[in-house]
Amino acid sequence: MADEKSRGSDQELAERPARRLAGKDLLGIQGLSVSDIEIILDTAESFKEVSTREIKKVPTLRGKTIINFFFEASTRTRTSFEIAAKRLSADAVNISTSGSSLVKGETLIDTAKNLEAMNPDCIVLRHSAAGAPHLLARLMRVPVINAGDGANEHPTQALLDMFTVREKKGKLAGLKVAIAGDVLHSRVARSNIYGFTKVGAEVHLTGPPTMKPPEVEGLGVQWHNSLRELIPEMDVIMMLRIQLERQGGGFFPTLREYSRFFGLNLEALKKAKPDVLIMHPGPMNRGVEISPEVADGPYSVILEQVTNGVAVRMALLYLLVGGVE
């Protein structure tokens, strides 16, 4: 988190640890400390209950403006942030590329500075260019949340994944977590690798050899050539979305081949631990990286991930934007 946006004295921070994040950015899991992660997950826990009330709304961020600035199509992430903001009573303003003056050739920075001039309290940015949120954050006083930047990071996804695992398993440290599929191009994988290793889990990667990231050794994780051999040991198996448009790019022969070797089906799950968790960041390609039976089966926590996404984003908006106390 960018230090220059910090506020509050050290003593205050010691007394009210949540204030540590106030005014800062969330650019990636890489920049978070373990205690940052714990604060976020603990706060999310307390917000999760709000979405189950008859009146799903707290006044925490009344009079705050949250801008969802999305340069890539997204249903779940944008909707999740919008719902999170509204359940905190904030005003949510959505901007997507199509309606943006970026079509008129303005730079990302100018557009963002313009938005900042309207006194928002937080900008949530999704962009196809890795590093776009970092660029913005350096130039802006207002907190920036990275909602996915190119193939770099998708930190709110990793936080909701960690939240889901911690809720189900009661801990994160010591767990064995597999991340399987197109690791090379996946920002979800990257953020989860950073996150789960930070909190002391053991991260195992697998996928086609063409989808192995070059820096895997430096990340403190292990690469495996076979998903099948990995399954029996794992507490958590996270299947990545295969981007169908990569087909024909030489990354894998055919979808059928991909599915056979790197897809998760009931047969492959037979040797799994009885309390294994199956995760997927969505959107799923049913029948490709995951079979419908597994996606909808008893080990799957895929929809709970989505539910927890709202809680985690409420927590982040609360912690970064700072509410009425």
Is 273 catalytic? The answer is no
Is 271 catalytic? The answer is no
Residue 67 or 179 with smaller CB distance to a copy of itself: 67
Q: Out of 42, 45, 91, 293, point to the residue binding a copy of itself (CB under 8 A).
A: 91
Residue in the block written with tokens 């010691």: 14
Residue 103 or 248 with smaller CB distance to a copy of itself: 103
Residue 203: what are its φ and ψ, rounded to 5°? -105, 130
Reference 44, options 322, 236, 309; nearest CA is: 309
DSSP alpha helix (H) spans, the chain: 10-15, 34-48, 76-87, 108-117, 132-139, 155-169, 187-198, 227-230, 255-262, 266-269, 292-295, 302-321
Reference 243, options 279, 283, 213, 205; nearest CA is: 283
Is 134 catalytic? The answer is no
Residue 96: what are its φ and ψ, rounded to 5°? -120, 160
- Please tell me the distance from the alpha carbon of residue 144 to that of residue 124, in angstroms, as a whole number: 6
171 contributes a contact to a copy of itself by CB under 8 A: no
Residue in the block written with tokens 């006044």: 59
Q: Out of 13, 93, 108, 130, point to the residue binding a copy of itself (CB under 8 A).
A: 93
Residue 114 or 210 with smaller CB distance to a copy of itself: 114
Stretch that binds a copy of itself, among 174-182, 206-214, 270-278, 304-312 (CB under 8 A): 304-312
DSSP code, position 235: S
Catalytic residue (choose from 43, 60, 65, 77): 77
78 contributes a contact to a copy of itself by CB under 8 A: yes
Residue 222 or 307 with smaller CB distance to a copy of itself: 307
Is 76 catalytic? The answer is yes
Reference 176, options 302, 275, 40, 45; nearest CA is: 275
Q: Out of 29, 32, 37, 95, point to the residue binding a copy of itself (CB under 8 A).
A: 95
Query: Please, which of residues 107-126 interact with a copy of itself by CB under 8 A?
Result: 107, 110-111, 113-121
Beta bridge mates, 239: 180
Catalytic residue (choose from 75, 104, 107, 270): 104
Q: Out of 83, 151, 219, 268, point to the residue binding a copy of itself (CB under 8 A).
A: 83
- Please tell me the distance from the alpha carbon of residue 20 to that of residue 64, in angstroms, as a whole number: 20
- Please tell me the distance from the alpha carbon of residue 306 to that of residue 42, in angstroms, as a whole number: 17
**Interacting residues toward a copy of itself by CB under 8 A:** 51-57, 62-65, 67, 70, 73-76, 78-80, 82-83, 86-87, 91, 93, 95-96, 98-107, 110-111, 113-121, 241, 244, 282-286, 303-304, 306-307, 309-310, 324
Which residues are tagged catalytic? Answer: 76-77, 104, 126, 154
